[in-house]
Amino acid sequence: MTKKPSLGNFNPDKDKVFENSVVEKLLNHLENNLPARTLKLEDDEKEVLHHLHLLTAKPMLYVLNKKAGGKNLDEMNDVNGKT
């Protein structure tokens, strides 16, 4: 008689239920027009969503072009405040 390999704590049904609950939480968050990056998740919940590669879960990067010799807004405010 052969022994079945031990799956440890792995329970396919329990894991699917957990994944479903995390995706439901994300769906509700997205339906409120909020980006995925603002959803507060535990580490194990983040692992569930990691494979989705959601753009709204990526960090936001703000970029500003400035012409050569141009002034920053804070520099412009200093000039306006002095006159």
- Segment 30-53 shows an average pLDDT of 92
Per-residue confidence at 83, pLDDT binned at 50, 70, 90? very low
What domains lie within the chain, and their CATH numbers?
Answer: 12-82 (1.10.150)
The CA distance from 52 to 6, in Å, is 29
Per-residue confidence at 29, pLDDT binned at 50, 70, 90? very high
Cα-Cα-Cα-Cα torsion 15, 20, 21, 24, nearest 10 degrees, comes to: 160
Helix axes 12-31, 43-50, angle to 10 degrees: 80
Q: For residue 26, what are the CA distances in angstroms to 14, 23, 55, 61?
A: 19, 5, 13, 22
- Which has the higher per-residue pLDDT, 71 or 18? 18
